[in-house]
Amino acid sequence: MRAQNHKEIVASYLKFAVFLVVTVFFSVLSMFFFFRTADAEYKNIALKTREYDAIRSVQLEAVTKVDSLIDQLSLMGRNKNLNEGLLLDVVSRKKLTLQRFLENTDDENVRLHLMMVSQLSDFLRVKDSVRSVSTQLRMVKEDLIRCIESNKNASLYDTENQ
């Protein structure tokens, strides 16, 4: 004894089986592409992270060298016991080392530092000029004071002789 709608039941079961297989196929296919995409994104993220870490380490090294150079520059003119010529020589050597380092790196990542170092020569020239002018001014002041003292002594000598 078969049911009267036996053909409809079998067709419904077949329809259900086909939809189930298609749904499982699309689900598995979706998961496959999801994992594949996630793996590709992870590789891209890891690659960019390594690239950014390399850039960051170069920038940190540049900042450290610039800070060291600025510390040396800040000593100029502050302490009278320092040999200004020797300090200027040390600063010039550090500047050249920093400039070579910055020129060997990617311009886009250290552009600001490179611009600052290129203008540092002008700053050093101005700083040296100010130092030499202040030395000359000090010498002229000392000569003027000596001349005033000499004139005072001469006028006292003239008043005593009269």
CA–CA separation, 108 vs 100, rounded Å?
15
> How confident is the model at residue 158, as a pLDDT?
67
Q: What are the CA-CA distances from residue 118 to residues 75, 100, 147, 159 (Å)? A: 20, 11, 45, 63
Q: How far apart are CA 51 and CA 29, in angstroms?
A: 33
| Amino acid sitting at position 123 | F
- H/E stretch holding 15 reads helix 6-75
pLDDT single digits (tens) 73-123? 777 767 667 777 777 788 888 888 888 888 887 767 777 777 888 888 788
pTM of the model: 0.58
* Residue 127 burial (CB count, 10 A): 17
Tens digit of each residue's pLDDT (9 = 90 or more) over 27-65? 999 999 999 999 999 999 999 999 999 888 888 888 898
DSSP letters for 128-158: HHHHHHHHHHHHHHHHHHHHHHHHHHHHHHH
Residue 131 has pLDDT above 80, yes or no: no
CA angle 137, 143, 149 (to 5 degrees): 135
